[in-house]
């Protein structure tokens, strides 16, 4: 299940990269202006960002139940995670749809892009809360509980091993399991930090826009920072996903090894 959720997160990153590329195309094309396609692309880009953050939130929840509630058979099946995943996709596309429906995505001739106007700071903050703040808060909550549980479990194993109440083989198996889970947790935390940085400029600029009553903030400069930061972080996340996922590296290594053997043969 862990590999399936990692693949799902990778797919959401690819989808977001596609819409980010289309955003760059819209910025270069002056003929589109406030067309429906421009607004739809802005809507799809925001929906894809919700998908990214919520997909990694689901991974955090999976780590939490797999480590803290590993004895609960209810969480061993894939049905509950599959149901949550479907709900995430429905929510990700439905929530920003009202922004598209009410024409809140407007074309800005300065940046040649459709976006939510900085004057609508409450709408921007609500979207950012759903897209960014709430999922990351859940991530932090899950990881704190996982680390706390793992720490207590290590102390418990040490005490049991000292008192010789448990078989050494059982203790060794649990130690290997905890080591494996900590390794997986370390990978997820690295990606979590990247996700935190990705939308942080947006949060800062929204706060500045709500305070700046004179509207002196440069829209062009602000969106350049946001889009450049997002494109760099998405690239880093893609690289991290490849480097930190042993299964993917093994599959690619085996593929190139087979090709090399075929050529040599």
pLDDT in tens, 83-137: 889 999 999 999 999 988 888 888 877 777 888 877 777 888 888 899 989 999 9
The CATH number of whichever domain residue 152 belongs to comes to: 1.20.1070.10
Residue 108 β-bridge partners:
113
- In terms of pLDDT, which residue wins out, 12 or 112? 12
CA angle 43–120–87, rounded 5-degree value? 40
Number of domains in the chain: 1
Domain span at residue 110 reads 2-264
Could you give the CA distance from residue 150 to residue 158 in angstroms, rounded to a whole number? Answer: 12
The whole model's pTM is what?
A: 0.79
CB 153 within 8 A of CB 178: yes
């Amino acid at each position: 299940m862990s590999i399936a959720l990692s693949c799902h997160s990778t797919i959401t990153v690819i989808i977001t990269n596609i819409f980010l590329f289309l955003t760059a195309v819209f910025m270069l094309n002056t003929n589109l202006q406030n067309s429906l396609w421009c607004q739809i692309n802005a809507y799809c880009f925001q929906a894809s960002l919700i998908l990214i953050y919520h997909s990694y939130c689901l991974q955090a929840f999976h780590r939490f139940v797999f480590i803290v509630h590993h004895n609960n058979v209810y969480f061993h099946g894939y049905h509950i995670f599959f149901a949550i995943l479907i709900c995430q996709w429905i929510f990700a596309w439905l929530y920003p749809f009202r922004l598209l429906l009410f024409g809140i995505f407007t074309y800005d001739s300065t940046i040649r892009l459709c976006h939510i106007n900085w004057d609508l700071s409450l709408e921007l903050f609500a979207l950012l809360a759903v897209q960014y703040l709430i999922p990351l808060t859940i991530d932090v909550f899950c990881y704190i509980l996982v680390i706390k549980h793992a720490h207590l479990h290590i102390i418990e194993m040490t005490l049991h091993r000292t008192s010789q109440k448990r078989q050494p083989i059982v203790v060794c198996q649990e130690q290997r399991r905890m080591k494996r889970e900590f390794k997986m947790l370390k990978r997820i935390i690295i990606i979590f930090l990247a996700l935190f940085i990705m939308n942080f400029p947006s949060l800062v600029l929204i706060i500045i826009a709500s305070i700046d009553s004179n509207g002196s903030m440069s829209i062009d400069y602000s969106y350049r920072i946001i889009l450049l930061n997002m494109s760099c972080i998405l690239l880093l996340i893609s690289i991290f996903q490849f480097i930190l996922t042993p299964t993917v590296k093994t599959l690619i290594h085996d593929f190139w090894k087979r090709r090399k053997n075929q050529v040599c043969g």
